[in-house]
Amino acid sequence: MSNVWRRHRGWITPAIFILPAIVLFGVVIVASSLQSVWISLHEWDGFGPMQWIGLGNYEELFADPQFYTSLKNNVIWLVIFMLAPPLGLGIALLVNQQIKGMRIVKSLFFVPLVLASVAVGVVFTWVYTPQFGLLALLFSAFGASAPALLSDENLVTFAVVFAALWPQIAFCMVLYLAGLNSLSEDLIGAGRVDGARGWNMLRHVVLPQLTQVSFIAIAITAIGALRSFDMISVMTQGGPFGSSSVLAYQMYEQSIFSYRFGYGAAIATILFLIMLVFIVWYLNRIMRAEDRSA
Partner 1 sequence: MSSLQLRNIEKNYGNYHALRGINLDVAPGEFIVMVGPSGCGKSTLLKSIAGLEPITSGTMIINGRDVTRAEPGERGIAMVFQSYALYPHMSVAENMGFGLRMAKRPKPEIDAAVARAAKILRLTDQLDKLPRQLSGGQRQRVAIGRAITRAPEVFLFDEPLSNLDAALRTQMRVELSTLHAELGATMVYVTHDQVEAMTMASRIVVLNQGRIEQVGSPLDLYRNPDNFFVAGFLGAPRMNFFEASVVALEEGWVRVSNPGAGVFSIALRPGARLEVGDTVKVGVRPEAFHLAEEDDGLAASVRLVEHLGRETIVYADATPLLSVGSDTGTSNVTIHLPDIVGLAAGASIRIAFDPDQAYLFGGPDDQTLSPPKASAI
Tell the smallest beta-carbon distance from residue 29 to partner 1 (Å): 35
CA–CA separation, 154 and 73 (whole Å): 11
**Is omega for the bond preceding 49 within 30 degrees of 0, making it cis?**
no
Tell the smallest beta-carbon distance from residue 288 to partner 1 (Å): 14
Q: For helices 261-293 and 65-81, what crossing angle results, to 10°? A: 30
142 three-class SS: coil
Q: What are phi and psi of 43, to 5 degrees?
A: -95, 120
Tell the smallest beta-carbon distance from residue 199 to partner 1 (Å): 11
43 three-class SS: strand
241, 153 contact by CB (below 8 A): yes
The helix (run of H) or strand (run of E) holding residue 183 is none
Nearer to partner 1, 193 or 273 (CB): 193
Residues that bind partner 1 (CB under 8 A): 184, 186-187, 189-197, 200, 204-205, 208-209, 211, 292
225, 77 contact by CB (below 8 A): yes
Nearer to partner 1, 209 or 233 (CB): 209
State the Rg of the chain over Cα.
24
Tell the smallest beta-carbon distance from residue 194 to partner 1 (Å): 4
Nearer to partner 1, 153 or 194 (CB): 194
CA–CA separation, 181 and 213 (whole Å): 12
The angle subtended at Cα 195 by Cα 193 and Cα 198, nearest 5°, is 120
Is the CA virtual torsion 191, 192, 195, 196 positive or negative? Answer: positive
Tell the smallest beta-carbon distance from residue 221 to partner 1 (Å): 23
Q: Look at residues 160, 153, 152, 134 and name the one whose alpha carbon lies nearest to residue 233.
A: 160
Nearer to partner 1, 54 or 195 (CB): 195
Chain centroid, CA 291 distance in Å: 27
Tell the smallest beta-carbon distance from residue 201 to partner 1 (Å): 9
Is the CA virtual torsion 169, 172, 177, 183 positive or negative? Answer: negative
Tell the smallest beta-carbon distance from residue 97 to partner 1 (Å): 16
Tell the smallest beta-carbon distance from residue 211 to partner 1 (Å): 8
Nearer to partner 1, 7 or 292 (CB): 292
